[in-house]
Amino acid sequence: MTAGPAREDRGAAAPLLAVRELRVWFATAAGRVRALDGVDLDVLPGETLAVVGESGCGKSTLARAIVGLVRAESGSIRHRGRELVAAERGAGRATECTAGRGIQLVFQDPTASLDPRLPIGAQLAEALRLAGRDAAESAALLADVGLAAEHASRRPHELSGGQCQRACIARALAVRPELLICDEAVSALDVSVRAQILNLLASLQERLGLAILFIAHDLAVVRQVASRVAVLYLGRVVEEGPAEHVLSAPRHPYTQALLASVPRLAGRAAGPAIGGEVPSALAPPPGCAFHPRCPVAFARCSTETPRLLPTPVGRARCFLAEAARAEAAQPEP
C-alpha cells in the first residue's frame, strides 16, 4: 500500500477521522467490560493506519464503534469535523454513532459478510441503489476488484474466499467511501490470496485516494502495508507513530514484547514470549494496565496511569518513555 502523507506534512493535514477519549463498555452478568477505555487516534486522508495488538485488546470493537455497529459509552468520533457520536448523553445511557457513507467496513470472514441467498450482482446492485447510483454500475465494480462479469450471477458459496472478499470490497466501494476499515480482512485467506488482496487494496488506495484503517495481528503484513501504526492494549493506545519507527525502535515495552515474540525463519522468536495472561477488561489493573506483565515495571507503574505523550517520532503511554523525553529536553551542560 502507499505510504500516505509524509510525517512532515502531518501537522498541516486535517484528520479525515479523529477519535478522542472513545469508551465502549459492555454490560455482562459479571459486570461492565471496558472494551475500549479512552482511545485517541487520527487517520489522515490517503494514509494507511494499522491498529495492532493481542486478541481481546479492542481492535474489532474500535472498528465497529466507528461505523456505529456498537454504541459508545462516551467520547468523540469525527469524520471531516462532523461528529458521528450522538450528542444525547442521558444518565447511564450509551451514545450512538451514526457513521455516514464516507466510512465503510470490510469484515474478517468474507463468506459470512455476504447474503447467502442472493447473487453477488444483486448485492452490489442493492448497495448502488442505496448510494443513489445506477445498479448497472455493478459490472464496473466487479471489474474494479478483479472479478469477471460471470461472477455477478454466482452466490457466495460458489466463490472462493478470496473472490468473496473481493466482492465485499466492491460492495464497500459502491458508496464511494473516503475511509475503508479492514478488520482482519486478509487473516482468513491463504497466503497467496492474501498477497493478491493486499495488492488490490494498494491499487484501489492509489487510484481512489482512499484512507485505510487496517486492523491486523500479523506484524509482517503490517510492516508491508502501513504508513503508521497504533498499538492497543486492554482498550487503550499505548504507542503510535510512523510504521518504520514503531516496528524497528518501539518505545513501549508491550510493543517491544510483541515484536520480540514474532517467530523468525529459524523457527524461534527474537525474544521471550510475553509473560502472563491479558488482564480481564472487567477489572483492569490499577496504574499502567501492562505492569503485571511488564519486565521493566517499577513501583510507580502499579499506582499511577501513564499518559499518552509525544516522543520524538510518535506517542507512547509509558513512564520510561516519559522520562526519556524529559531527559532529552534538558539542556546540555
Q: How far is CA 47 from the centre of its chain?
A: 12
Domain range for residue 320?
255-329
Same domain, 186 and 58: yes
Domains in the chain: how many in total? 2
Same domain, 28 and 157: yes
Which position has the grid cell 467511501? Answer: 177
In which order are the strands placed within the sheet that holds 48-52?
A: 103-106, 179-183, 211-215, 48-52, 228-233, 236-242, 315-316, 309-310
Q: What's the alpha-carbon Rg for the chain, to the nearest Å?
A: 21
Same domain, 28 and 144: yes
Same domain, 60 and 179: yes
Q: Tell me if 217 is assigned to some domain.
A: yes
Q: Tell me if 195 is assigned to some domain.
A: yes
**pTM assigned to the model:** 0.89
Q: Tell me if 53 is assigned to some domain.
A: yes
**pLDDT 10s digit of each residue in the chain, 333 long?**
555 554 444 555 799 999 999 999 999 999 999 999 999 999 999 999 999 999 889 999 999 999 999 999 999 999 999 999 875 454 445 666 565 679 999 999 999 999 999 999 999 999 999 999 999 999 999 999 999 999 999 999 999 999 999 999 999 999 999 999 999 999 888 888 999 999 999 999 999 999 999 999 889 899 999 999 999 999 999 999 999 999 999 999 999 999 988 776 555 555 556 777 888 899 999 999 999 999 999 999 999 999 999 988 899 999 998 877 666 666 665
Q: 21 φ, ψ to 5°?
A: 50, 40
Same domain, 108 and 213: yes
Same domain, 74 and 223: yes
